[in-house]
Copies of this chain bind each other. A is one copy, B any other.
Amino acid sequence: MTILAVGSVALDTVETPFGQAEEALGGAAVYFSYAASFFNHVRLVGVIGEDFPEEHLDLLKRRDIDLSGLERARGATFRWKGRYDYDLNEAHTLDTQLNVFETFAPKIPTSFKDSEFVFLANIQPGLQLQVAEQVSAPRIIACDTMNFWIEGAYDQLRRTLQKVDILIINDAEARELAREPSLVKAARQILNWGPETLVVKRGEYGVLMFNQHSVFSAPAYPLEDVYDPTGAGDTFAGGFMGYLSTVEEINDASIRQAIVFGSTLASFNVEDFSLGRMKTLKMQDILDRFAEFKLLSHFEEVEA
C-alpha cells in the first residue's frame, strides 16, 4: 500500500508561551508525510523554493519519503509566521508569504498515479479535485480544507467533496461548511455531500467521527504542556491515513483505531516545535501511547 500526500512544504516561524522556532521545517504535506511514514511508504507532492535547506530534505528521505514529486521552483519557499497565546487552540497569523506556493499546481508523477491512499492537504479545492482525478484506482481519498476556501470557493469545494471518502476538518470548519451551528446536524449534512466519513478535529478536546451508522468520540491525550500546536492536524491525518493503509478491511472499527493512532501521533508532535519530537519518535512509543489512550477512555459496562 502506498500513500500520496499533496500540499504545502513550508518554513515556519512560530512563537508560543514556551519559546520560539525560526524558519523551521513545516507545512501540511511535511507533517502528514512524517507521521504516515511510521506505517507505510509515503510519496510527497509539493513545491519548495531555491532557498530550501538540504538538511530538511535529508530528514524526509531518512523516513523513506519519496520526494520525486517535490518540485523545486525559482523563488523563495512558502513562509508562515504565527503566534499562539495560552489558548493554544487558536493560531494568530502574523505573516504569510506564499512565494512559490502561490502558483502551486500539483503535478502527480506517473509513478505516483497508482497510489491507494491519497491525502489532499489544505489547498485550493480545484487543485484538490485535479489530484483526485489523476490517481487511477484510489482506495481512500481524504481531504482537509479551511475557512478561506469554504468562504471563497464554496461551489468548487462542494464538487471536490463528491470525490472525497473521508473529510478531516475542525469543528468550526464543519459548522461553517454546513452553515449549521449544531455539529451533529452539520455532520449529517456533510455526509450527504460525498464523504462517507467525517472526522472533526477539536484540538485539546479530541476528535469526533461521524458516518451513516455511528459516532465515535476519541479523547485528546492530556498533556502537561503543549509546546507548539503547529502541524497537529496534519500529523493527526498522517497517523490516521498511515494506520488505515495497513489494515485488511477499512470499516468502522479500523477507522476508530486509525483516529486513535492519529491522535497519538498528534500528541507527540505538539510536545516540541516543528518536527523536534517526531525526529526521535519510535514505533514502540506510538504503541505505548495508543495503549494509554485505551486506559484513558476505558470504563466498564453495567448490568442492565
Write the nearest CB–CB distance from A296 to chain B, whole angstroms.
Answer: 5
B256 near A224 (CB under 8 angstroms)?
A: no
Q: State the CA gap A185–B206 with chains docked (Å).
A: 19
Instruction: Say yes or no for A260: interface residue by CB 8 A criterion.
Output: yes
Is B290 within 8 A of A181, CB to CB?
no
Cβ contact within 8 Å between B295 and A214 = yes
Interface centre among A182, A223, A302 (most CB of B within 10 A): A302
Question: Whole-angstrom distance from the CB of A66 to the nearest CB of chain B?
Answer: 26
Q: What residues of B have a CB within 8 angstroms of the CB of A93 in the complex?
A: none
A94 beta carbon closer than 8 Å to chain B:
no
Q: Contacts A222-B208, A222-B215 given: A299-B184 contact, CB under 8 Å?
A: no
Interface residue? A202 (CB, 8 A): yes
CB contact between A296 and one of B181, B185, B215, B300 (< 8 Å): that residue: B215
What's the tally of chain A residues with a CB closer than 8 Å to chain B?
40
Q: Please tell me which one of the listed residues B206, B208, B216 contacts residue A299 in the complex, with CB atoms under 8 A apart.
A: B216
Chain B residues with CB under 8 Å of A218's CB are 297, 299
**Across the interface, which residues of B come within 8 angstroms of A290, CB to CB?**
302
B299 and A260 form a contact (CB under 8 A):
yes
B256–A299 contact, CB under 8 A?
Answer: yes
Any B CB within 8 A of the CB of A35: no
In angstroms, Cα B301 to Cα A223, docked, is 22
Looking at the assembled complex, report how far the CB atom of A218 sits from the nearest CB atom of chain B, in whole angstroms.
7
0/1 interface trace, chain A 107-129, chain B, CB 8 Å (1 if under): 00000000000000000000000
User: Which of B182, B220, B302 is close to A287, meaning CB atoms less than 8 Å apart?
Assistant: B302
Q: Are B298 and A294 in contact (CB under 8 A)?
A: no
Complex Cα distance, B290 from A224, in Å, reads 30
A275 to B127, CA, bound (A): 52
CB closest residue in chain B, given A223: B184
- Chain B nearest CB from A263 CB (Å) reads 10
Instruction: Please name 20 pairs of A and B residues whose Cβ atoms are closer than 8 Å in the assembled complex, sorted by A.
Output: A182-B225, A205-B205, A205-B206, A206-B217, A208-B222, A214-B295, A215-B296, A216-B298, A216-B299, A217-B219, A217-B297, A219-B219, A256-B299, A256-B300, A257-B299, A259-B299, A260-B299, A294-B299, A297-B297, A297-B299
Closest 5 CB pairs between A and B? A217-B219, A205-B205, A256-B299, A86-B181, A184-B224
